[in-house]
Amino acid sequence: MTIEPDSTNLVMLFNACAQLRNERALKIKNSFLNQMSKLFNSTNHVVNSFLNILIKFRDISSAENVFVQMKTKEIITCGIIMQEGKVGYVGKALNIFDHVEKPNKMIYTAMINSFGLNGMGHEAVDLYRRMPIDIHDEVTYICILNACSHSGLIDKAHSIYNNIKVKTERITTAMVGLTIVFVLWGNLV
């Protein structure tokens, strides 16, 4: 009986090999290493499981090569940009962003959010304006409105909000919250 490989049984096979770390697992690892082009047509779960084998066998150079060749590193890149922004390392986050050849909406939004969390609203607005309009989504709008809020850019926030074609409840709530903060803040000054 022959089983055709699919993403589920490949992940199971790779996880078993990573745990066993015996001669047979080594042969399987080497066999797939020689067929990398087929592997890259698989899902991220398959590639990540294969990376796990390489690391368990301490084949770091092959793991680095696989990582560099991965088609979708967006989730990892996005996570790093967000983490660097959360701890105040906006320069590092921007450096990572600048090295992304073709940022997607997740990566743009992560960088906009990093600017916003660190009071860099003007930079967030500049990046938002450079972002292709066709990839804006609800999360992008909320992040840019929050970035404006954190930097006191109420006029820019209103301008952006007025240009949003589909205003969801969450987007409207973000804008209303921003306006209330500014009204209250204005009364305190």
Q: Which of 30, 47, 69 is the last residue of a domain?
A: 69
Residue 2 domain-assigned (yes or no): no
pTM metric for this prediction: 0.62
Token pair for 179: 């306006």
Residue at which a domain ends, from 16, 41, 69: 69
The answer to whether residues 17 and 55 belong to one domain is: yes
In this structure, the answer to whether residues 46 and 94 fall within a common structural domain is no
Picking from 20, 47, 69, the residue at the C-terminal end of a domain is 69
Q: How far apart are CA 175 and CA 3, in angstroms?
A: 54
Please check whether residue 126 lies inside any domain of the structure.
yes
pLDDT tens for the 189 residues of the chain, in order: 676 767 777 778 877 888 888 888 788 877 877 776 565 555 666 777 778 888 888 888 887 777 776 655 677 788 888 889 989 999 999 999 998 888 888 899 999 999 999 999 999 999 999 999 999 999 999 999 999 988 989 899 999 999 999 999 988 888 888 788 777 766 544
| Residues 6 or more apart in contact with residue 94 via CB below 8 angstroms | 111, 114
Structural contact between residues 137 and 104, judged by C-beta atoms closer than 8 angstroms: no
| DSSP string over 91-104 | HHHHHHHHT-SS--
Do residues 81 and 129 both lie within one domain? Answer: yes
Q: How far is CA 117 from CA 26, 46, 57, 58, 127, in A?
A: 46, 34, 40, 38, 14
What is the domain extent for residue 133? 74-188
